[in-house]
Structure 1
Amino acid sequence: MYRNHFGLRELPFGITPDTSYYFAAPASQEALNTLMVAAKNGEGFIKITGEVGTGKTLLCRKFMASLGSEFVTAYIPNPMLEPRTLMLALAEELGLTPEKGIEQHHLLKSINQRLLDLARAGKRVLLCLDEAQAMPLETLEALRLLTNLETEKRKLLQIVLFGQPELNRKLQLESIRQLAQRITFHYHLGPMSRDDLEFYLSHRLNVAGYPGNRLFARDAVKALHGASGGVPRLANILAHKTLMLAYGEGRQQVRASHVRAAARDTIFVRRGALRWAGFAVPALIFVAGLLWMYAR
């Protein structure tokens, strides 16, 4: 598409979490520092919240990749599971192969034994749960029971919850107050400032191999921050479209007019208000695609 036009090795603004593109913006770095300190202190529950698209999944993957060899990590991306299914998923992540139809009591006993074996080997076990706001209340309660597994010195299992702000409202419910009281470290991941966004764009372009000077003009950065609200996922979607537009016009720099055109073609969230500005597969992108095809 526009990769060769701008001298890129790969497309820089994908929305798939890729730790090679992790950008240490102040908020992200503070969240990562919080996670590292909490994990090394052996805290039972840690919580990271943020609006849709603020980079929670990427932060989770960066966090797990940053842990030392003394940690064994388990990752469950979709915890909208009943308690038993969640425990089976945890068992599989820990390398266990439970028998089919195993009773929950024996399943928990197997998990406990595995955790004890890992503790004796000097390992800490950390379970990361993405999209935790989707967890049923009974599953959240089962998580609390899992953190009861401990030696005289420390917890056998640490749990990190990554979720949208709805998770906070769920934790305020009386029925799971005991779990909420066990969360000793937490951080809310917010959007990027305009300056952060400018560095973010430059960082991703550099990782993708961009060899030139400023690709996004200052007016484009300002417009992009206004349209995306500093939310990384929205910024990526819009930046990708603006590069397609600039390529379609044969230009070597993105301007505010490209951002405005991309925004008109995008369904996006800005400060909590859902705005419709076109269809998800816009005509302008189709035209840019045609230009690319004929240029091959």
Structure 2
Amino acid sequence: MYLGHFALREAPFSITPDTDFYFAHDGAQATLNTLLVALRSGEGFLKVVGELGCGKTVLCRQLLKTLHSECVTAYIPNPDMGPDDLLCALAAELGLDIQLPTNRHTVMTLIGNCLLNHAAAGRRVVVCIDEAQAIPVRSLESLRLVSNLETEKRKLIQLVLLGQPDLDTKLARPEIRQLLQRITFSEYLGPMAGASVGDYLRHRLARAAATEHTDLEVFTPEAIERLAVATAGVPRLINILAHKCLILAYGQGVHRVSATHVKLAVRDTPGLRPFPTSGGPWWNPWNWWKRRSGPTRTAGEVLE
């Protein structure tokens, strides 16, 4: 493994959602700030839609980490379940002991009493539901009923849905329009701008550094530019390619990741096309990256 070679204590580009590596690029930090302000203002239902690999889960965990000291938090990572099971999962996250078999009325009563107790003690309750696009339509109605729990002054529970763009399609269905109307804030989390990729790489290397003398300039400017274009700023893809690049550099006994290493890593990664030999768009995300990053060289010029 390359950790000793680059003076690292752990792998810097793991794709697990570790909040120690949270990088506050413009899009992620703006979304996080909006969620924090809305939740602290008492909003009851919020939604974040993000593209694949853009960091929804780590953003969710960073939100919960930030709120942990000021309210009761709960997290449901896999909501693909029926209405009763979803309510039981929520009850379990709130620390309730559910005796099976049970019924929906009993579970709703227990959840309601729990929320009233927290409210009486001055505690807010925030529940984040990840991969929310997987929630069955009939289970969304259960969430709407839970969101109805309130006093004359405040919501007893605040719900944050985080999901892929399919979530918007599902929420647009006529039979659940009442739920859509309850969502007061909706945020979009996209890839980071190309200009942020270098800072992202250095940030993760710094977080994984074994000593204060660990070199953070492992990736050359040309390699960073190629990574930005090849991944269109999608953090998960950046992590995958950067990890492979470090392996390649270690295998060659060098301490710098070059543009050639990135080119080889791209060829080894399913879903990414090899670099072209002429200018012009070559992969749809490139068009997005080009718009976000401003005027630059053509794809062919950057990549070849």
**Is TM > 0.5 for Structure 1 vs Structure 2?**
yes
Alignment of 1:72-87 (within 5 A): 72-87=72-87
- Judged with a 3 Å threshold, the aligned counterparts in structure 2 of structure 1 residues 213 and 29 are, in CA distance, closer, same or farther, namely closer
- What corresponds to 1:291 in structure 2? none
Counterpart code for 1:271: N
Partner of residue 9, structure 2 = 9
Instruction: Note the C-alpha offset of 1:98.
Output: 1.4
1:104-253 matched pairs, under 5 angstroms: 104-209=104-209, 211-253=214-256
What is the RMSD of the two structures over their aligned residues, measured on CA atoms?
Answer: 1.3
2:34 maps to 1:21:
no
Aligned to 1:263: 266
Deviation of 1:68 (Å): 5.1
Q: Aligned equivalents of 1:106 and 1:192: distance in 2?
A: 45
SS at match of 1:7: coil
| Aligned counterparts of 1:259 and 1:5: Cα–Cα separation in 2 | 19
Cα distance in 1 for partners of 2:95, 2:193 equals 42
The CA distance in 1 between the partners of 2:109 and 2:15, in whole Å, is 40
Amino acid in the other structure paired with 2:154: R
User: Any stretches of 5+ residues in structure 2 without a counterpart?
Assistant: 273-282, 287-304
Q: 1:260 to 1:135 in 2, by over 3 A?
A: same
One-letter code aligned to 2:179: L
- What is the SS of the residue equivalent to 1:95? coil
- Aligned mates of 1:142, 1:90 — CA distance in 2: 11
**Matching of residues 52-63 of structure 1 within 5 Å:** 52-63=52-63
Q: CA deviation at 1:212?
A: 1.5
Q: 1:69: Cα distance to partner?
A: 2.8
Q: Kindly, what percent of the aligned residue pairs are identical?
A: 53
Give the TM-score taking structure 1 as reference length: 0.90
* Residue deviations 1:7-57 (CA, integer Å, cap 9, x gap): 111110000011110011010100100110111111111001111100000
- Note the residue ranges of structure 1 that are not aligned, 5 or more in a row: 274-296
Q: What's the offset of the Cα at 1:225?
A: 1.0
Label 1:78 to 1:271 Cα distance change in 2 as closer, same or farther (>3 A).
farther
- 1:101 corresponds in structure 2 to 101
Instruction: State the partner residue of 2:275.
Output: none
Cα contact 2:45–2:158 (8 A) shared by 1: yes
Q: Is the 8 A contact 2:205 2:216 kept in 1?
A: no
User: Residues 196-220 of structure 1: CA distance to partner in whole angstroms, max 9, x if unpaired?
Assistant: 1110000000111161251100110
How many aligned positions are there?
Answer: 273
| 1-structure distance, mates of 2:183, 2:231 | 31
Q: Secondary structure at the match of 2:52?
A: coil
- The alignment's TM-score, normalised by the length of structure 2, stands at 0.87
**Where does residue 281 of structure 1 map in the other structure?**
none
Task: Kindly state the Cα deviation for residue 272 of structure 1 after the two structures are TM-superposed.
Answer: 6.4
Q: Quick check: 159-168 or 190-199, which moved more?
A: 190-199
